[in-house]
Amino acid sequence: MLNKGYIEGFYGRLMSLQDRTLILNKLSELSMDFYIYGPKEDPFHRSSWSSIYPEDKAKDLQKFKEVGEKLGIKTYMALSPLISPKDNLKEGIKSIDKKIKQFKDIGFKYFAIFFDDVDFERSEILAKTHSDILNSVSDSINQDNQDSLIFCPTVYCNRFAKGELKDSSYLKALSKEVPETIPMLWTGKEVVSETINDVDILSLKQVIKNPIIIWDNYYANDYCPKKLFIGDYKGREFSVNNPRGIGINPTGLPITDSIILSRVDGSVTTGEILKKYGVPDCFEELMPFFSGPFDKVTALDDLEAVKGLIELSVPLCIDWKSNLQLEWAPYLWNFFIDLNFLLKYRRAEDQKVLEEWAAHRYSSPLLEVIFERNKNN
């Protein structure tokens, strides 16, 4: 059976205990399996990784673990030790041991080590450093729990191998040093992959034999913070037990992420989801624009159709009141502003008036691109 879960591994947002509890309850409702805590905005996870969590934050993490435990969800506590080959590895491992001890004292039984998004050369030497860290952590935790330790490598997608996977000195070195029993997180061909399937996993397994858990950024929007994706979950086709699991790394908006988890589960339709959360029916007209990162949208050539979409701003941005609307409001407003700009642009309004209108709503670099192209055309 393919394990499924949630990864709090995004940039730009740090969820609260209440937010995480909502997600844990949704995971339980959908019979999903795990929650990996590793938000980039938690300084004690990454930027100040060697510092012990203060008492108040440690208590929140303990409550998070306890809620997960009661619901039958594995809660992983992740650490991102920013140790380069030039650093004192012995001292670094001492700091990691102190942090793992704190996690264990809080009650955590499952751990993750993240080596993602570090500005170090992806070399054999870096892999040796990471292997030494993983072996040290593995020795210090209770191995009686299956998958009690997982890790994310620095080369976590095909693109970062900078060539064929089989030629990656980093991955080849990891495969020699890291125990094959420790599952590895992987995002596919790209950081955000359009498709991931058995062929991709088998290609990776030719280099490194560890069980694979897909870190799926399909619904992530930290790299495109004005966009939101809530459409069908697609482009993933796997055999049983290949990979070991899939973790969804979405937005950090708790109600939205609950909807996304329902999408991944695949047991309810768009209409059912929107109805459950009280979304006005007219939103279905906008769904093509909020579907997925690789979905193509028909060009808006009909100005009357554009005007019709703009009219939906009242029921969706003004009349609709709910906690979900508060999460979606920035994306809806941005979309309607873009539609208004398109309408004004297509109507060929006075260039100076158009530039003044846009200057109040868009950044200077974007304005230069738009109006420079306009001049060239």
- Closest CA relative to residue 121, chosen from 92, 86, 145, 90: 86
pLDDT at site 100: 96
Q: What residues contact 183, with CB distance under 8 A and at least 6 apart?
A: 147, 150, 151, 210, 211, 212, 213, 244, 245
The per-residue pLDDT for range 51-74, each reduced to its tens digit, is 999 999 999 999 999 999 999 999
* pLDDT for the residue 370: 84
Per CATH, domain 3-266 is 3.20.20.80:
yes
pLDDT over 70 (residue 1): no
pLDDT tens digits, one per residue of 108-118: 999 999 999 99
| CA 353 centroid distance within chain | 40
Peptide bond into 243 cis (omega under 30): yes
Judged against a pLDDT cut of 80, whether residue 344 lies above it is answered with yes
Q: How many residues are listed for the chain in this entry?
A: 377
> Residue 150 pLDDT > 70, yes or no?
yes
CA nearest to 331, candidates 315, 343, 313 = 313
Q: Residue 267: which pLDDT band, with cuts at 50, 70 and 90?
A: confident
Of 242 and 281, more confident: 281
Indicate the domain borders of the chain.
3-266, 303-376
| pLDDT 10s digits, 318-335 | 999 999 999 999 999 999
Quote the strand ranges of 109-218, DSSP E: 110-114, 149-152, 184-186, 196-197, 212-216
The token pair that represents 21 in the structure block: 């509890």
Q: For the chain, give the mean pLDDT.
A: 94
Per-residue pLDDT, averaged over 113-139, amounts to 95
Q: How confident is the model at residue 155 (pLDDT cuts 50, 70, 90)?
A: very high
| pLDDT (average), residues 132-151 | 87
